[in-house]
């Protein structure tokens, strides 16, 4: 019975990754009808499937200490499952603690309100060894646009020496990057967006919009309008990220995916930002994946 519970949990997270990928059209990102030369829909499919055993391992762990090693294993799995490069780093960093928290429950489905407190406990219990493995995972992917950061740069050997010497936990390491990276923000704030506003938006849309794909696209637009995408912040600057959020808001004011005028504006928005790889709102897609995971853990079926 325990194995069936963990299978169900890991299946919920895998499905969330696949549903986020399938949401179409997703402005500036890979979806069912849009590929990039270096990364395609099929690369994301292979990546999502490769993560399932590692999601299971996180759920089996049921705690925080040792999760960093699982994060590193999952990163190596999705990077080696396809040739499209970094497909799921942000999403995996968000869902790994959620999966570990979900695994600590004896019964399913799992309410998001209680999940949030469990996730916080998971994050607080991680130690400096988890920090080292998480940093190694990020360095393994070597995500473009990461650049050199002023403190605890994962690409510098000295960082790992300092983490070990000072016993720096993941939360301590990420605290100063809370406004620079969505994963750092969510870890430090206990998933305030994922299990807060984003989940409320998603639930409202799936309740009110009959077409599930439309509900996902509308949710993505609302997340993008509400939060500056930190992937864009790192690559193109804060002002450009704010402009992209403003453009998403204008699409929503016209009805978003639900009206002809909104769909036309969405298509134009997509064409404009798809011209530059600096303007891909991948962090908001990661938020959608994690939020979908929470909804599916509650027992929702698309």
CATH number at residue 152: 1.10.4200.10
Does 57 fall in a domain? yes
Does 153 fall in a domain? yes
Mean pLDDT of successive 10-residue segments in the chain (302 residues)?
88 98 98 96 98 98 96 98 96 98 96 96 98 96 58 87 97 91 96 98 98 98 97 94 98 98 98 95 98 98 96
Instruction: Please give the Cα distance from 147 to 158 (Å, whole number).
Output: 16
Does 302 fall in a domain? no
Does 17 fall in a domain? yes
pLDDT given for residue 106 in this prediction: 94
Longest dimension (CA), the chain: 59
Instruction: Please give the Cα distance from 90 to 107 (Å, whole number).
Output: 28
Cis omega before residue 82 (within 30°)? no
Cis omega before residue 6 (within 30°)? no
CB 284 within 8 A of CB 220: yes
> Nearest to residue 50, comparing CAs of 38, 62, 61, 42?
42
**For the whole model, what pTM was predicted?**
0.96
Does 204 fall in a domain? yes
> Nearest to residue 140, comparing CAs of 77, 97, 212?
77
pLDDT given for residue 148 in this prediction: 53
CB 128 within 8 A of CB 167: yes
Instruction: Please give the Cα distance from 242 to 176 (Å, whole number).
Output: 21
Rg of the chain's alpha carbons, rounded to an integer? 18
Does 300 fall in a domain? no
What confidence tens digit (pLDDT) does each residue in 261-276 have?
999 999 999 999 999 9
> Nearest to residue 193, comparing CAs of 53, 90, 59?
90
Instruction: Please give the Cα distance from 235 to 212 (Å, whole number).
Output: 31
- For 26-50, b where at least 16 C-beta lie within 10 A, e where not — what string? bbbbbbeebebeebbbebbbbbbbb
Q: Count of domains in the chain?
A: 1
Q: 78 lies in which domain range?
A: 2-295
CA 135 from centroid of its chain's CA atoms: 17
What confidence tens digit (pLDDT) does each residue in 145-160 have?
445 555 688 888 999 9
Does 46 fall in a domain? yes
Does 261 fall in a domain? yes
pLDDT given for residue 145 in this prediction: 45
Where are the alpha helices (H) located in 227-281, listed in sequence order?
230-236, 238-253, 260-273
pLDDT given for residue 82 in this prediction: 98
101 φ, ψ (degrees, to nearest 5): -65, -45
- Burial grade of 207 (CB within 10 A; 0-12, 13-18, 19 or more): exposed
pLDDT given for residue 152 in this prediction: 81
């Amino acid at each position: 019975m325990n194995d069936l519970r963990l299978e169900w949990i890991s299946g919920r997270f895998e499905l969330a990754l696949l549903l986020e990928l399938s949401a179409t059209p997703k402005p500036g990102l890979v979806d069912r009808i849009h590929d990039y030369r270096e990364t395609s829909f099929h690369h994301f499919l292979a990546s999502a499937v490769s993560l399932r055993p590692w999601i299971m391992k996180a759920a089996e762990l049921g705690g925080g200490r040792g999760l960093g090693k699982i994060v590193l294993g999952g990163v190596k799995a999705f990077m080696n499952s396809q040739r499209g490069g970094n497909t799921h780093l942000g999403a995996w960093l968000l869902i790994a603690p959620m999966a570990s928290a979900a695994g600590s429950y004896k019964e399913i489905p799992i309410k998001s309100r209680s999940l949030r407190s469990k996730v916080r406990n998971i994050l607080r219990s991680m130690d400096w060894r988890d920090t080292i493995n998480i940093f190694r995972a990020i360095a393994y992917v070597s995500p473009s646009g990461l650049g050199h950061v002023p403190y605890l740069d994962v690409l510098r050997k000295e960082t790992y020496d300092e983490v070990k010497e000072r016993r720096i936990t993941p939360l301590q390491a990420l605290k100063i990057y809370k406004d620079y990276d969505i994963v750092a923000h969510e870890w430090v704030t206990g998933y305030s967006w994922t299990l807060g506003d984003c989940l409320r938006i998603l639930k409202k849309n799936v309740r009110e919009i009959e077409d599930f794909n439309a509900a996902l696209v509308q949710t993505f637009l609302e997340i993008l309008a509400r939060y500056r995408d930190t992937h864009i912040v790192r690559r193109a600057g804060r002002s450009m990220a704010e402009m992209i959020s403003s453009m998403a808001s204008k699409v929503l004011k016209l009805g978003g995916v639900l009206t002809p005028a909104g769909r036309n504006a969405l298509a134009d928005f997509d064409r404009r930002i798809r011209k530059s790889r600096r303007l891909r709102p991948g962090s908001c897609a990661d938020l959608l994946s994690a939020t979908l995971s929470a909804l599916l853990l509650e027992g929702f079926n698309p």
